[in-house]
Amino acid sequence: MEAPVGRGQRLPAAPFLWGSAALGYFALGPYFITRTARTERVALDDLGWASRNIFENRIFGIALSAIALSIPFTSDLFNCDIPATIAGYQDLASSSRFVSVASLDITIMSLIGANLVKEDSIRRGWEDKSTALLIASIFLPVITPCLYLAARPSLKEE
């Protein structure tokens, strides 16, 4: 069963999603360019097994949030020389097309993710929080969506 918000889209999401594992936005781009935003409410009964039992589970959101919040500690971010790291990144970005393209890919995917968080929050009745979630997702692109998955309102059963 496809996701209810995927019904009526011009293109099926699955091939683009699988391609994004290797190609990032370059695979997802055509899908997102042709995608229509959905605002109608979704019931828990409309979801497939994985969406209903895994992705809608608050424990899943909490686990992802814990992993996201551990990144600065496990990556040694607090012990690195930030100016030297930024200078090294600038050197890499100016000398390597791969680094430049990967950085652009990450930026575009983060902006799309922020927009999807906003769209989902509106669909779940958090219209008043949607703009704040969008801004927070732009400035903290990994942590905010994970925390949103842990805190968002549950879908209702029909």
Residue spans per domain, the chain = 4-151
- Length of the chain in terms of residues written: 158
Which pTM was predicted? 0.85
Whether 113 and 137 have beta carbons less than 8 Å apart is answered as yes
- The tens-digit pLDDT sequence of the chain (158 residues) is 456 566 678 888 888 889 988 888 888 888 888 988 877 888 888 888 888 889 999 999 999 999 999 999 998 888 889 899 999 999 999 999 999 999 999 999 999 999 999 999 999 999 999 999 999 999 999 999 999 999 999 887 76
Structure token digits, residue 72: 């600065």
Distance separating alpha carbons of residues 38 and 18, to the nearest angstrom: 22
